[in-house]
Each structure stands twice: as structure tokens, then as C-alpha cells.
Structure 1
Amino acid sequence: MLDEEFFPRRRMDRGVRDSVKKLLHYSVVLLGFFLALSMAGIDLKNFAVLAGALGIGIGFGLQNIVNNFISGLILLFERPIKVGDMVVVDNEWGTVRKIGLRSTTVETFDLAELIVPNSLLVSEKVTNWTLSNSRSRLVIPVGVAYGSDVPKVLTILAEAARQHPDVLKEPEPSPIFVAFGDSSLDFELRVWMADAQKRLLVRNDLLQYIDRRFREEGVEIPFPQRDLHLRSVDSAIIGGMQEKPAPPRSE
């Protein structure tokens, strides 16, 4: 009824709808519990005293459960995360699928479901990529060989950003020459996307385009390398190398 009549008229987003439904559900359950006690002839005043006494003992034994329960209420009221948000929890990327009073279900990109205690979402650091808006910045590091044409590399990176339909025109994409690396000239391509859910797809497309254009333009992507310089070598070692007979040739 709420989904068909009430919510469409109010134009509430999915997160607000889920919070309202859960709060109404738990309120009805709690009200029904007290009505059942009243109809059974149990004095609610006596029950309150008994519940208070039991609460002290249960609080120590079920401290984590109570903590998660209170944290679930905080999530429903403050809404730092909502159903459908893309979050990073303990270095795991995923989409929030369900927020309960004890735990929250996060679906990873591998379609695995993480059951995260609500207390963790309230007390620990959680990255929410879609809290206030779904825009997201993507940074792609690129390294090319020393001696490469720097303006040409910057042009190719800018071209890669302009041709992709999911890359925003504003803020404007930024190809940047970052540093002289150990084995390469280091660049970064910084772009903005309208939908953070497409980060992996956009990254894949841009990397493929950059690789193809580099090969067409003869821009080399180097392997890590080290140069070894010998300042001094023991003369006995040099003499031994010179006097060592060559191995016999097999016929």
C-alpha cells in the first residue's frame, strides 16, 4: 500500500522509503507486543520493573547485539548510507542492498554479500561514493618511456577523455605530467563521471583507448629497469676471468 499509494505521491527516494517502512514495521511490532501483554492481563507497570531488572543482566551478555541495534536506529534516522549507495567497507567495494536493525547487507562486484554489523558502519571509517551525489572522479596513472613526446602524450590522454560518453565535459578532464619516475615519465588522466557505479567500465574503456593510440603513435610503455655501474673490481677476479680456458667444443 505504501509503495503503491503513499510513496509515489511524495516522490521519496529509495533510501527514505526503506527507512520509513522499517520504522513503521518495528513500531507496529512493538505496539502489538504491548497490546498482547495487556490482553493477557499482565500489568505493564510490573513488566516495566521486570524488564528493567532483566535489561541490566542482558545488557552485559548481549552488549554487541544491543550496540548493533542502536547503530541500526542511527543509520535509519541519520541516513549516512542508504539502500543503493556504493560504499567501501574494509577495502571492499559494493552496493548497499539492505539495512536492518542488526546488520547491513552489501553486495560486492563479485555478487558476494557482505553482512556488516551496523556498529561498524557507525563507528568505523566508511567511504560512501553516492551520499550527496553520484558524481565521481577517476584518476588513471600512465607511464611512458623517457624520450617520448610529452605534448603528444598529453594530447592522446585528453583525446581519450573527450571521446568517452560517460566522461563529463564539466569539470573538464585534466591530463597532467606528474613526475620523472624511476623508469618512466609519469602522467595522470583525471576525469569526472556522472555515475560512480560505472568506474570500472570507464577505466577499462579509457585504458584500452590509450593503449591503442600509444601503439599507433609509437609511444612506448617501459618496463622497470636498473643500470648497474661497477666502480672497482678486484684484480684477482679480473685475472681469473681472463685466464679461464674456454669450454671444449662438442662435435
Structure 2
Amino acid sequence: MIIQEEITEQAKEFIEENVWDSVRDFLEYEIFHFGDKNPLVLTVGLLIFVFIVFIVTTVLLRMVRKIVTRRMESSDKQKFDSVFSFSKYFIYVIVIFFALDSIGFNITAVFAASAALLVGVGLALQTFFQDILSGIFIFIDKTVHVGDIIELDGKIGRVEEIKLRTTRAVTIDNKVLIIPNHLYLTNTLYNWTQNNIITREFIEVGVAYGSDTTLVKELLIKAALSNKMVLKKPAPLVLFTNFGDSSLNFRLVFTINDSFMAAIPKSEIRFEIDRLFRAHNVEIPFPQRVVTMAGGSKKE
């Protein structure tokens, strides 16, 4: 009986030693080996360790994100999520590198082997990182909001979505503008509606010399007020801007309640101005030139 127990105990020890040896051999199995001096070695155990670190980091990041955004407003939460989704990749890289360095993995060899590649990738992604940084600046200083009407590089659109790399806007003819965020840093941005959707617009027109300027002023104001998109308060204003070469120049200033649609009421008001001027015999002049022919005669 004692002999049988000794045999059983020896068998257990033998099995345990073989199992641990098998597990050790499995974990130390080299998947990748590079270099002779200070070699870069990737084993199964190291790969499992990285996976565990990745899972733990993911769980912690989700907890932090949930705690931070718990009391945020929906708009601020969306902005934070965009920045957080980009930043977490840097956190993953930093945490994994620190974890590998703590168990003796040759991080220096990794940087040495990938230095040229990292430089090339950095140059190739220079504009990409500019877009990301610009997107972060937009979120922080709140330069642009969803619903704003912006003008950038001669293009006008209503902002529909702001992402970390691009801003999407829709033009008046329902075309989608995809604007790389770095353009906000390199171009002048006009935000038509940062103060309010109500904006001041103007139309310039010239009339012939000798015209009744008081009548012109009355007709211009009447044309503006005839449009339903023009606000009664503040009232439209007519400015006598200059004595031109062939015309008396006026500027009609008015306020509308939807700057995104400004082109439509301005066109309608021009039609009405033309109609009223014709009805009251107010002439809109056109430039005339006098050409002297070679015999002294003149031709207009």
C-alpha cells in the first residue's frame, strides 16, 4: 500500500513536471527572431502578455470615458468621444511599450529597426496629423458648431457634422463639402452665424445722372420690404455711396432671417428693383465709350 502511494505520488510529480515543461516550452516558443547582437525576439508568452495588457487597458479606458462623460451635455460628449477615440491609440502604444520594457523586452531594438519606417510614415501622414490637431482646436475653442453657416476659400455651406479630421457641410444646391480641418489654420474662415442666423446683406445699383435720388431711395426700400425674407426691423437702409463715372451709385442694406438662403431674396429684390425702375422711368445706365476715328469723326 505504501509502495503504491509512493508510485502514485511519483507519477503525479512526473506529470506535473511534464505539463509545466510543455507550458514553458509553449510560452517560450519563438514566433519572430531578428538580429544577432541584442536580438529582437517575439515569443508566444510575450504575445499573450501584450494581449492581456491590451484588454486591461481597454477596460480601464472605457471606465474613464464613462466617468468623465457621465454629466456632459450631448454636444460636449460627442466632441470628447472624437478626441478620446484618437487619443486612446497613443495610450495603447505607450502602455504596451512600458509593459514590454518592464519585463525586459528590447524596446531599443524595436525603435532602431523601425526608425526609418517611422520617419517615412510621419512625413506621409503630416497633413493627416495637421487635420487631427485642427479638429482638436475646433472642439476646444468652439470656432464652428453644427448648424453654422461658414465660408471658406470661397465656398459656403451649412455645417452638418464635425469630425476629428474633416468637417462636412452642405451647400445651398445640396452638394456636400468635405473640408479637411487643417484648412481652418491656413485660410480665413467666415462664420456667418456665430453671432446669429440673422445677417445684414446689401445690393448695389447705379442710376443715370439727373435721376430723382429721393424717388430712387423710396423705390429701393419698397423693393426690399416687398420680400418676405427681409425683416421690417431693423428697417432697410439706402446709402448714396458715390458719384461714379457714368452713374449715381447706391447701396441697399437690409436684414434677412436666414443667411444660408441669402442668394434667393437678393435675386428677387433685384428683379423687383428692375421692375420698379422701369415703371417709374428710372434709368440704369451702362458704360459708354467715345472712339475717335482716323478722319476726326467720332463714334459712340
The gaps in structure 2 that reach 5 residues or longer are 1-71
**1:177 aligned counterpart, secondary structure:** strand
Is 1:131 the counterpart of 2:131 in the alignment? no
Match of 2:29 in 1: none
| Aligned pair partner of 1:141 in 199, 204, 228 | 204
1:227 deviation in Å? 3.2
Q: 2:168 corresponds to which residue?
A: 105
Q: Residue deviations 1:150-200, cap 9 Å, x none?
A: 111111011222333322233331112222212222111011222212211
Q: Does 1:24 align with 2:81?
A: yes
Residue type of the alignment partner of 1:76: F
Query: Hey, what does 1:46 align to over in structure 2?
Result: 100
What's the counterpart of residue 174 of structure 1?
237
> Does structure 1 residue 95 correspond to structure 2 residue 158?
yes
**Residues 1:104 and 1:89: Cα distance change in structure 2 (over 3 Å):** same
Counterpart residue identity of residue 21, structure 1: Q
CA contact (8 A) 1:86 1:129 kept: yes
**Residue in 2 aligned with 1:191?**
254
Structure 2 residue aligned with 1:218: 281
Using the TM superposition, give the Cα deviation of residue 125 of structure 1 relative to its aligned residue in structure 2, in angstroms. Answer: 0.6
Q: Is 1:78–2:132 an aligned residue pair?
A: no
Conserved? CA contact 2:160–2:169, under 8 Å: yes
Give the 3-state SS of the residue equivalent to 2:169 in structure 1.
strand
CA distance in 1, matches of 2:165, 2:85: 18
Q: 1:81 Cα deviation (Å)?
A: 1.1
Structure 1 residue 66 displacement after superposition: 1.0
Please name the residue that 1:240 is paired with.
none
Q: Structure 1: which amino acid aligns with 2:131? A: N
Q: Please give the secondary structure, in 2, of the residue aligned with 1:134.
A: coil
Deviation at 1:211, TM superposition (A): 1.2
Could you tell me which residue of structure 1 aligns to residue 122 of structure 2?
59
Counterparts of 1:207 and 1:213, CA distance in 2: 10
Using the TM superposition, name which of 24-33 and 197-206 deviates more: 24-33
Change (3 A) 1:31 1:69: closer
**Corresponding residue of 1:119:** 182
Q: Percent identity?
A: 33
- Give the TM-score taking structure 2 as reference length: 0.61
TM-score scaled by length of structure 1: 0.72
Q: Give the superposed CA RMSD.
A: 3.4
**Structure 1 segment 211-250 matched on structure 2, within 5 A:** 211-228=274-291
The SS at the match of 1:140 is strand
Whole-Å separation in 2 of the counterparts to 1:90 and 1:29: 28
Q: CA deviation at 1:44?
A: 4.8
SS in 2 for 1:178: strand
Q: Which runs of 4+ in 1 moved over 4 A?
A: 28-35, 47-50, 52-56
Larger radius of gyration: 2
Higher relative contact order (CA 8 A, sep 6+): 1
In 2, the alpha carbon distance for the partners of 1:204 and 1:213 equals 14
Q: CA 1:70–1:29 in 2, change beyond 3 Å: closer, same or farther?
A: closer
Superposed displacement of residue 34, structure 1: 6.5
- Closer, same or farther: CA 47–224 of 1 in aligned 2, 3 Å: farther
